[in-house]
Amino acid sequence: MLYPYSSAARSFKEVVESNASVAAMEDFLDSLASKFHEKHYLPMLAKKHIIGMYGDDLMNCSKVDLERRLFLCDEVTLLQDL
């Protein structure tokens, strides 16, 4: 018997290896919400990956992208502070 997270972990690996867009990763993160708690390892891993996808060039990011990145950073940081 496979654990429910096994297929989700494989799906995450496939999405990452396909060089998916930020929008595709956000969709994947949304799909995890129905299976896992928001602070579960897989959603947090997806959030960290999305943060990295925004890159380091903050001057060329839109305000919406910066706000989303900040929101994700806050969520990841709060969990790491526990």
Q: 25 and 53 in contact (C-beta within 8 Å)?
A: yes
Nearest Cα to 54, choosing from 13, 21, 76? 21
* pLDDT tens figures, 7-47: 888 888 888 889 889 999 999 999 998 889 888 889 999 99
Per-residue model confidence (pLDDT) at position 1: 40
Three-class DSSP category at 24: helix
Per-residue model confidence (pLDDT) at position 73: 94
**Token pair for 63:** 């305000």
Nearest Cα to 71, choosing from 52, 43, 51, 45? 51
Q: How far apart are CA 14 and CA 20, in angstroms?
A: 9
- What average pLDDT does the segment 42-55 reach? 92
Q: How far apart are CA 26 and CA 3, in angstroms?
A: 23
Per-residue model confidence (pLDDT) at position 38: 86
Percentage above 90 pLDDT, the chain: 49
